[in-house]
Amino acid sequence: MASPVLQTRLLSSLTKVFADEELQARPFRRATCLRGEVFSLQLAYRAESMLRDLQVAVASDLQRYIQVRAVGLAPSEFPGAHFDDNVLRTTPGLYPDPLLPVGERLPAPPGQWRSLWVTVRVPTRITAGIFTIELALASGDRQVGGATFTLEVLPATLPAQKLKHTSWFHADCIATHYGVDVWSQQHWVLVDRFVRNAVDHGINMLLTPLFTPPLDTQVGGERPTVQLVQVRRSGERYSFDFSRLDRWVHMADAAGVKFFEMSHLFTQWGAAHCPKIVVTENGTEQRIFGWKDKASGRRYRAFLDQFLPELVRYIDRRGLRKRCFFHVSDEPHASHLESFAAAAAMVHHHLQGFAFIDALSNVEYFDRGLVRQPIPASNHIEPFVERGIKDLWTYYCVSQWKDVANRFFCMPSARNRILGAQLYRYDLKGFLQWGYNFWYAQYSTHAIDPFKVTDAGGNFPSGDAFLVYPGEDGPLDSLRGEVFREALQDQRALQLLDSLQGRDKTVQLLERGLEESITMTRYPKDADWLLRMRERCNRRIAAL
């Protein structure tokens, strides 16, 4: 019987390997990295006949720092529509995304390209040098394929992340998916695992549900209660128990969280209503605020007048003042100026000295002093840049699909990773995205299985609503999350080079060979440019 034939090819992390498509990317056989970097590459393979017992083995002096996972295929019924031409495909089908444990055997359907994701967590104190990584694919006792990658670890260490980064953490989605009670011991264990995964991927600011966040909720509907502050009411007086919030802070500290993003104090898209808040009165828990209550109403104002001073006292007792950020309302439109202004006035005087951040696109909110730290969408950032706003952030979500960076399934990974260069070029201090783990349909009308539904029930392009999958016991990464971490590492490497030779020379190195400066809408589109840019940056760092 003829031996089965297995084709293999080493690829960078920026190639998406589709099962039904010929490989176009060139082989990727060697690269450099800095100490402390998380470096990724892929080994693509295709069997010409069925291999039922394919396995992978790794041999390297870096072996203890290497993890190999299989790139799984996720269904997408709605990859997106009306995009620009910088997409891979927009047809419904199977897209490479979840990174799955290898297990006892690899998937190797005949005639289909599949890939292995190889992650090297380079220690910060490793001796610089050239390391080989030998990857062998075997069927039974026979090696049927493999390749060797060369990684040169340079004598410089990637600096700590300066960027403030939040990707909204949805604690209720975890409880719903795993079928556990909110804030039960099982819930806390799972939340901790996902928080640690988020921190590992550069999310150093954690959305903290003082009350159930009024985000992506159908008008008149509600999400499961994940309120951390326990409230008791007696007549017109409220008392507040911060012990559950304190447990959250301890958990986050242990996981490496640097900043706390307090949940929005008013509803999304205009600050017209109150978030869902439950209290205990006469031994019974009841909802006292929600969609039926106007944000500017006397009752909610009286509640905030009691709650916010107590919250500030708690924050100061814990020494958290410089680590806490507040919101008024998410994504207000031009027509919401008056309602947003009224809501902002209710809270600003209680929270003087705290940073307020809100995602928006209309610069008038800043011009009128309603938002102290605006977070403009990446496709609306230029008017904010022109005003010279200090410590500017940006964000993207479902609406940023034309020209700018994003991380939808259908987009090339280079469009995901280019954001790191853009963050450096604009000298941005923060980045926000709304969906670390949103495993509901749009408006939180019902739960979805993220392994089967990747488009929020056909409402958002696949890849918008979540960056992580719920594994049996905790988080499973996506290739999009790994590539986005590489984007953040690019920014950190450029910042290191900046500290060594100055900004002007670093910008020149970054943009070498380009006909125009990098902006949010004008940037190199191909993966090879990004790989070459990092090599230039790394070599210059090493030389200095």
Domain ranges of the chain: 6-158
3-state secondary structure of 284: strand
CA gap 206, 191 in Å, rounded: 12
The four Cα atoms 278, 279, 285, 288 give a dihedral, to 10 degrees, of -60
Question: Could you tell me whether strands 129-139 and 54-59 are parallel, antiparallel, or unpaired per DSSP bridges?
Answer: antiparallel
Nearest CA to 360 out of 416, 399, 388 is that of: 399
Is the distance from CB of 116 to CB of 8 less than 8 angstroms?
Answer: no
Integer CA distances (angstroms), 20 to 10, 114, 156, 265, 286, in order: 18, 9, 41, 48, 54
The mean per-residue pLDDT over the stretch 106-127 comes to 96
The mean per-residue pLDDT over the stretch 209-233 comes to 97
**Which residue pairs from 365-368 have beta carbons closer than 8 angstroms and sit at least 24 positions apart in sequence?**
365/332, 365/337, 365/340, 368/337, 368/341
**Which residue pairs from 332-335 have beta carbons closer than 8 angstroms and sit at least 24 positions apart in sequence?**
332/269, 332/270, 332/271, 332/358, 332/360, 332/362, 332/365, 333/269, 333/270, 333/362, 334/362, 334/364, 335/270
Which pLDDT value is given to residue 445? 97
First to last CA, the chain: 58
Percent of the chain topping pLDDT 90: 95
CA gap 75, 192 in Å, rounded: 28
Question: pTM for the full model?
Answer: 0.97
If one counts every other C-beta atom within 10 angstroms of the C-beta of residue 104, the result is 7
Confidence of residue 4 (pLDDT cuts 50, 70, 90): low
CA gap 168, 223 in Å, rounded: 15
DSSP state of 159: P
Percent of the chain topping pLDDT 70: 99
Query: What's the pLDDT tens digit per position in 372-414?
Result: 899 999 999 999 999 999 999 999 999 999 999 999 999 999 9
Query: What's the pLDDT tens digit per position in 415-473?
Result: 999 999 999 999 999 999 999 999 999 999 999 999 999 999 999 999 999 999 999 99
Give the CATH number of domain 6-158.
Answer: 2.60.40.10
3-state secondary structure of 293: coil
The mean per-residue pLDDT over the stretch 23-32 comes to 96
